[in-house]
A and B are shown apart, each in its own frame.
Chain A
């Protein structure tokens, strides 16, 4: 079974500062994918970034980067230059189905990020 752990129920950051949201995972699958999604108060799920377990470099998407440490089974999200609009719930997720066609996602409990001016 897959287990995704997000130990920070809430985080606060000042506008324009960087913030790191923690995520650790546990899987016995040799090939997997790691994801981060953002959920504003409206409830929609917004995809942010993806990291494959065999990717050599850490993924980056604009202000988002994923600090992937495979040996430690961690996949922390770094948001640089925080903006007020970044205030939302952030979910880490894992798919054990790389190389198959199932595409299932398993989520952590989320971290509520608040950006203050």
Chain B
């Protein structure tokens, strides 16, 4: 069966500090991978998606970047965090032919102070 991991689960960082959130998927190969952000009381906003190693597409201009160094690893980064980067970050995967729905990880709750 497939599982998706995210770490850390929670993170408190000062403004201006760097960020690295990691997502890994087990039990599947060649998945599409996605990063979403959920601000407090809001829906999920698609930030980045990747259809393969080294292939990153950005949905919205922002202070964040993403990388996919391995097939089942997706990393969300920032060089200098802003207050507005606070939120709940969710990683998800989908693969054509494996059903219609995306599968989500447990999320990382980021607070920037």
Question: Using a CB–CB distance below 8 Å, which chain A residues touch chain B?
Answer: 4, 6, 33, 35, 43-45, 47, 50, 52, 91, 93, 95, 101-110
- Interface stretch, picked from B14-22, B75-83, B99-107, is B99-107
**Number of cross-chain contacts by CB at 8 Å:** 58
Task: Verify if B64 is at the interface (C-beta below 8 Å from A).
Answer: no
Binding site of B, secondary structure by majority: helix, strand, loop or mixed? Answer: strand
Kindly state the separation between the CA atoms of A117 and B94 in the bound complex, as whole angstroms: 37
Contact B51 A52 (CB under 8 A): no
B103 neighbours in A (Cβ, 8 Å): 47
Asked if B106 and A110 sit within 8 Å, CB to CB, the answer is: no
Chain B contact residue count (CB 8 A cutoff):
24
Residues of chain B at the chain A interface (Cβ within 8 Å)? 32, 34, 36, 42-46, 49, 51, 59, 88, 90, 92, 94, 96, 100-104, 106-107, 109
Complex partner residue of A44 from B46, B94, B104, CB under 8 angstroms: B104
Q: Offer 5 A-B interface pairs, CB within 8 angstroms, sorted by A.
A: A52-B100, A103-B49, A103-B102, A104-B49, A105-B44
